[in-house]
Amino acid sequence: MENKPSGSPTSLVDQLVVPGDVVLDLNSMTNQTIKLGGGLRQDCDAIAVTKAGKLRCTKPNKYWVESSQKRYEPHPGDSVLGIVVDSKADNFLVDIKGPALAYLPVLAFEGGTRRNIPKFEVGTLIYVRVVKANPGMNPELSCTDASGKAAEFGQLKDGYMFESSTGLSRTLLSSPTCPVLDALGKKLSFEIAVGLNGRVWVNATSPSTVIVVANAIMNSESLSAVQQRIMVEKLLQNLKLST
Amino acid sequence: MKEEGEREVVTPGEVLGKASDVRAGRGAYLAPHNNLVYASLTGFRRALSPSPDSPDQRPTVEITDHKAHGAVPEPGSIVIARVTKVMAKMASADIMCVGPKSVREKFSGIIRQQDVRATEIDKVDMHLSFRPGDIVKAIVLSLGDARAYYLSTAKNELGVVSAESTAGATMVPISWTEMQCPLTAQIEHRKVAKIGG
């Protein structure tokens, strides 16, 4: 059965699309600039989907496919949690769950000079920002934000790190605050760092708090907002009963 | 007894003759301590008759048909290479042709960030100059280190000669920094070589 290209762009928006679906037919839209995000490809005159997910669009002309997966594709501007794998003369080699190891230049810290190079051992967990991610090249990272300030980037000490899907990471970072974090934050005090590469780090004063927060986040991926609140209530009751 | 037309294979170290009978040509050398001519390459031996008016009437023996007869990059020669890997400060390339001749074995070359172009060499972005799979024309700067020759594209007529776009079509050059895909009209950045006058 042939898949007819849709003339109007709104027919497939917010719907599940699979690779091969033709989303837009450029012949019917003249003199418009369209911005394509991830998951879409231009095939001569048609825009085709390359990744399964939900097609999203914002006015006036941005289209992209949102999907959640375990694999991370590095993108400039993302904040990720990396694990130091090796240190060389000019940069640290950091694993960010992408297709290639990333380089973190030794001087990419606030006030970083040749004299005060941080000593990261192998296995150190760090919160970094992706600066460059060209296809075929190793991504480049930095421990400062775009203006050069430290801004919470750097080594994450203590705490517990677990892996999640990229979709869950994006939900945890969305604003307004995602329901599970909101409900947990009302009763418990903890600190959390979310990496867009599917890694989450939680730290709190008592280990039971850390475990409750981690379990709540891991279970919340497929639940709706109301179900998330109910689940958090149950977990907090169990926590109170055991202490 | 050697027959007519049969070619004899020699290996390095084999004696080709006495210095009084033959002269050492390409692939052979004269050992001074015992005046014998030895082969230094593996190949077929060939005897060249001397020119009739030269004072030295010894035939020249040389070794032919060995692999190193293919072209070898020398400093200053123009080579055609295919980019294999692009990194932050340099790009690796496999040398395919030296001048008009293709090579018989694999030679590796490196184009460093400071050798990509002649102006503003510390602001060069390697990703905007080369991509893996591009065919580039470069000049050999030096024999480099043990791993690779050092190449340079720092001239107008050196740089990317042919490149494929992400859509899979061969791109058309539009300026010395841009090439355009004919299928999708997308512009990609390369350090383009100026072909022609």
B131 vs A contacts (CB less than 8 Å):
136
- Tell me which of A14-28, A78-92, B1-15, B40-54 is least confident: B1-15
Buried/exposed A58-81: b ≥16 CB within 10 Å, e otherwise? eeeeebbbbbbeeebbbeeebbbb
A42 vs B contacts (CB less than 8 Å):
167, 184, 186
pLDDT value of residue B6: 60
- B54 plus B144 within the same structural domain: no
pLDDT value of residue B147: 93
pLDDT greater at residue B188 or residue A64: B188
| Interface with chain A: mutation pick from B84, B134, B184, B186, highest number of A CBs within 10 Å | B184
- B55 plus B103 within the same structural domain: no
- Asked whether residue B197 is domain-assigned, the answer is no
A85 — pLDDT class (breaks 50, 70, 90)? very high
From A140, which residue of chain B is nearest by alpha-carbon distance? Answer: B88
What tokens does A171 get? 């939900």
Residue in A42, A136, A140 closest to B86 by CB: A136
A137 vs B contacts (CB less than 8 Å):
86-88, 126-127
Q: Decide if pLDDT at B2 tops 60.
A: no
pLDDT value of residue A143: 92
Q: A176: cis peptide before it, omega within 30°?
A: yes
pLDDT value of residue B197: 52
Query: How many angstroms away from the CA of B164 is the closest CA of chain A?
Result: 14
d(CA A215, CA A203): 13
- Asked whether residue B69 is domain-assigned, the answer is no
pLDDT value of residue B41: 86
Which amino acid, one-letter code, is at B18? Answer: K
Q: Decide if pLDDT at A4 tops 50.
A: no
pLDDT greater at residue B112 or residue A42: B112
Summary count for chain A: helices (H), strands (E): 4, 16
pLDDT value of residue A241: 74
Residue in B85, B87, B184 closest to A44 by CB: B184
Q: Mean pLDDT throughout A136-145?
A: 91
- B55 plus B10 within the same structural domain: yes
H/E element, A171: helix A166-173
From A45, which residue of chain B is nearest by alpha-carbon distance? Answer: B184
Choosing from B15, B41, B64, the residue where a domain stops is: B64
Share above pLDDT 70 across residues of chain A, in percent, rounded to a whole number: 95
Q: Where are the beta strands (DSSP E) in B113-171?
A: 135-142, 149-152, 159-162
Q: What phi and psi values does residue B9 have, to the nearest 5 degrees?
A: -85, 130
- Asked whether residue B175 is domain-assigned, the answer is yes
Strand partners, A141: A130
Which amino acid, one-letter code, is at A7? Answer: G
d(CA A64, CA A13): 9
A140 vs B contacts (CB less than 8 Å):
88
Choosing from B64, B97, B114, the residue where a domain stops is: B64
A198 — pLDDT class (breaks 50, 70, 90)? very high
What's the pTM value of the predicted model, to 2 decimals? 0.76
3-state secondary structure labels for all residues of A23-38? EEEHHHCCCCCCEECC
B127 and A134: CB-CB below 8 Å? yes
Evaluate whether A199 touches A164 at the Cβ level (below 8 Å): yes
Q: Decide if pLDDT at A156 tops 60.
A: yes
How many whole angstroms from its chain centre is CA B179? 27
- Asked whether residue B106 is domain-assigned, the answer is yes
pLDDT greater at residue A13 or residue B98: B98
d(CA B143, CA B135): 21
With left for phi above 0 and alpha for psi between -120 and 50, is residue A237 left, alpha or beta? alpha
From B86, which residue of chain A is nearest by alpha-carbon distance? Answer: A137
pLDDT value of residue A243: 61
Which amino acid, one-letter code, is at A43? Answer: D
- Asked whether residue B194 is domain-assigned, the answer is no
Q: Identify the residue whose tokens are 């109910």.
A: A230
- Asked whether residue B84 is domain-assigned, the answer is yes
- B138 plus B111 within the same structural domain: yes
Q: Mean pLDDT throughout B149-168?
A: 93
Q: Where are the beta strands (DSSP E) in chain B?
A: 9-10, 15-18, 23-24, 28-31, 36-39, 43-48, 60-64, 78-86, 90-98, 101-112, 135-142, 149-152, 159-162, 172-173, 178-180, 187-189
Query: How many angstroms away from the CA of A199 is the closest CA of chain B?
Result: 26
Residue in A42, A103, A136 closest to B184 by CB: A42
Read off the DSSP letter of residue B140.
E
* Measured CA distances, A157 to A48, A105, A204 (Å): 44, 21, 11
Strand partners, B78: B139
pLDDT value of residue B195: 85
B4 — pLDDT class (breaks 50, 70, 90)? very low
CB count, 10 Å around CB of A142? Answer: 19
**CATH code, B119:** 2.40.50.140
- Asked whether residue B71 is domain-assigned, the answer is no
- B60 plus B85 within the same structural domain: no
Average pLDDT, chain B: 88
A42 and B132: CB-CB below 8 Å? no
Cβ-based interface (< 8 Å): residues of A facing B: 42-44, 103, 132, 134, 136-138, 140
- B90 plus B152 within the same structural domain: yes
B186 and A42: CB-CB below 8 Å? yes
Q: Where are the beta strands (DSSP E) in B54-134?
A: 60-64, 78-86, 90-98, 101-112
Choosing from B64, B91, B110, the residue where a domain stops is: B64
Q: A105: cis peptide before it, omega within 30°?
A: no
What tokens does B107 get? 């030679």
Complete edge-to-edge strand list for the sheet that includes strand A199-203: A160-163, A199-203, A191-195
Q: Decide if pLDDT at A5 tops 60.
A: no
Q: Decide if pLDDT at B192 tops 90.
A: yes
Contacts 24+ apart (CB under 8 A), B117-123: B117/B153, B117/B154, B117/B191, B118/B154, B118/B155, B121/B154
| Interface with chain B: mutation pick from A92, A137, A138, A140, highest number of B CBs within 10 Å | A137
- B60 plus B120 within the same structural domain: no
- B56 plus B85 within the same structural domain: no
- B58 plus B120 within the same structural domain: no
Q: Mean pLDDT throughout A206-217?
A: 91
- B60 plus B106 within the same structural domain: no
A137 and B183: CB-CB below 8 Å? no
From A26, which residue of chain B is nearest by alpha-carbon distance? Answer: B184
B126 vs A contacts (CB less than 8 Å):
137
| Helix, strand, or coil (residue A69) | coil
A10 — pLDDT class (breaks 50, 70, 90)? low
- Residue closest to A202 by CA, chosen among A160, A145, A172: A160
Q: Mean pLDDT throughout B178-183?
A: 92
Number of independent structural domains in chain B = 2
Residue in B132, B183, B186 closest to A136 by CB: B132
- B95 plus B181 within the same structural domain: yes
- Residues sharing a CB contact under 8 Å with residue B102, sequence separation 6 or more, in sequence order: B70, B71, B96
How many whole angstroms from its chain centre is CA B163? 21
- B105 plus B182 within the same structural domain: yes
- Asked whether residue B195 is domain-assigned, the answer is no
A236 — pLDDT class (breaks 50, 70, 90)? confident
pLDDT value of residue B80: 96
pLDDT value of residue B22: 87
A42 and B167: CB-CB below 8 Å? yes
Q: Decide if pLDDT at B51 tops 90.
A: no
pLDDT value of residue B96: 94
**CATH code, B58:** 2.40.50.100
The residue range of the domain holding B90 is 78-189
Count of residues in chain A: 243
d(CA B71, CA B81): 14
